Every structure is written in C-alpha cells, then in structure tokens.
Amino acid sequence: MRYLLLAIGWLSVALGVLGIFLPVLPTTPFLLLAAACFARSSPRFHDWLINHPTLGPWIRDYLSGEGIPLKGKVYAIGLMWASIGLSCYLVPLFWARAFMLSSAVLVSLYILKQKTLRRS
C-alpha cells in the first residue's frame, strides 16, 4: 500500500506542476492529494512538499484556512473560463457544453466562496 500511495503522490505532484502551466489542470487539488498520500506513506516526502519554496505555499495557505490570494482567484477563474470557452467553441455536443459550463459555474462559486488571503 505504501508504494501505491507513493506512486499516486508523485503522479499528483507531476500533474500539479503541469497545472501551473496548463489551465485545464488544477494545481491545488493535485498538490493536496500528493500531500495526503505522502503523509500516509513517507514523512520525508511530505515534509519536502509542504516546505517546498514554490509548491509549499499552495498547500500551506489552503490547509491553514488562511484562504486563496486574490491574484490566484482571478488567475484561476479567468484561465478556467478561457479554456472552457475555447472548449465549448470546439466541441459541438450540447450535453458536453452544458456539462463544461455547469462545472465552470460550480468551480467559480467554490473559489469565490473561499476566504481571500490578505498578504501583508
């Protein structure tokens, strides 16, 4: 089980890093999944991820309940709607468009409901 959790953890880290650059992949959920997998399989990798200078703040801010930075909210919602808009343009199926648009609305509402992190 430990090796399965490690594999899922590293796959999640890779997808999370890709999500930084690709708007169709979310970053934070993959990094949270990686942190959860590492917490159960490898304290060393968990500490590495939580204390990583680039990836760590995504996890720490969310887990601490401090919220999401306003810039992050705007970036996430803007890129999501741009990619959903392009996808809806390219995909002719009504049910697929309806699913994408309803997913985008729900994710936008979730992000907007999260506390906004105020950095000093």
**Contacting residues for 15 by C-beta, under 8 A, at least 6 apart:** 25, 30
- Count other Cβ atoms within 10 Å, centred on residue 116: 12
pLDDT band, very low/low/confident/very high, at 67 (cuts 50, 70, 90)? confident
Q: How many helices (H) and strands (E) does the chain have?
A: 6, 2
pLDDT at 120 over 80: no
Q: What is the pLDDT of residue 101?
A: 92
Q: What is the pLDDT of residue 75?
A: 78
Distance separating alpha carbons of residues 30 and 17, to the nearest angstrom = 9
pLDDT 10s digits, 101-119: 998 898 889 889 888 877 6
Q: Which residue has the higher pLDDT, 29 or 88?
A: 88
